[in-house]
Every structure is written in structure tokens, then in C-alpha cells.
Amino acid sequence: ITLGYNQSDFRIFHSKSFITNDSFLRAESVTGPGFNLGIVSNLRIGEYFDVRFLPTLSFAERNIRYAPPGEKSIVLTRRIESVFVEMPFHVRYKSAPFHDFRLFVIGGVKYVFDVASDSRTRQAAGLVKIAPTDFQVEYGAGIQFFFPYFVFSPEFKISQGMNNVLIYNDRHWRGFLGAVG
């Protein structure tokens, strides 16, 4: 079993026409918290390599903070909550064991599906619509601690979305190019 804490945000890009936009003075991403719950499937491919599949249910929150034009003191925040079903495939390279621990690095790809996207799209009323799927690249490192009845393995991973997850709506985000999750 895998349990984890995550932080999610968007990478916001503005088009060249954003400066002439009359809908928003500023738009920026704010990191939000979340947690993961998953199952570890591991196939050993030798003494130092593993192939891993970790189906995971991930709860995440991402925020977009924006300011309407003319009102510099007013800042509005749009919270986007997601429930992801994640399907990551990793390759893990492990060091030789030293006493009761070993180090490892991981890398791989992940397919992500947001099961909350339908209800969120209905609630968004057209302001921000996010695509329900994404492909991501993941990499990280960790330590395995060997105990008599189990292995404790904390790790740190970074996931980077590959797709533009914003569903572009010309009526609302004029001049806004996209957001990568």
C-alpha cells in the first residue's frame, strides 16, 4: 500500500493578447494540498532493477487567483478540486543494500483521469473548464528500510503534466493561452 501527500498547481501561460484583455488584470496559480492512496505492484528484473505499476486514487486541490481590471485591491480565487485515478508505470534502480537500508531512483510515465471533472464542469459555470485526462512524466528518489515483517520506503516524486488541460472557452478566458497540470 502507498500513502502520500501531494501539492498541485497549474503552470499558467498568457498569450500575447493577454495585455489587451479587459476581463482580467492578473491570473496566477496557487499551490493546493492533497493526498494519495494506492497499491504497489512490483516486478523484479534483476538484482538492481524493478518495474512498478502503482494504481492510485489521488485527491488534489489547485487554485487560480485572478484580479478583475480596475479593482487592484480585489483578488478572487477559483478553487479546482479533483479526484484522480492515476496509472503510473515506473522503472526503479536500487543500490546494493547497506545494513538495513538502500537508496533508489525512479522514473516513468503516468496516465491521469479526473473522475470529478463532470460535476466540476457543471459547477464552473463556464469560467474554468479542465480536461479530464493528462499524461505526466514522473521522477524521484527514495530509501528502503528493511524491517523483520515489512519494508518501509519513503520517496519523493515530481510529476509534470504534458498536455494543456485547459478547455479553451473564447467567451471567458480571452487572451489566456493555457494551463498545464
pLDDT tens-digit readout, 71-107: 666 777 788 888 999 999 999 999 999 999 999 999 9
Q: What per-residue confidence (pLDDT) applies to 176?
A: 46
- Cell readout for 132 is 479530464
Unique residue bearing C-alpha cell 537508496: 103
* Residue 5 scores a pLDDT above 70: yes
Q: What per-residue confidence (pLDDT) applies to 177?
A: 45
List, for residues 109-145, the tens digit of each pLDDT value. Answer: 999 998 876 655 544 545 667 788 899 999 999 999 9
pTM of the model: 0.76
Q: Of 47, 58, 11, which is closest to residue 177 (Cα–Cα)?
A: 11
Q: Are 51 and 91 in contact (CB under 8 A)?
A: yes
User: If you average pLDDT over every residue of the chain, what do you get?
Assistant: 82
Q: How far apart are CA 78 and CA 91, in angstroms?
A: 36
Q: How far apart are CA 53 and CA 40, in angstroms?
A: 6
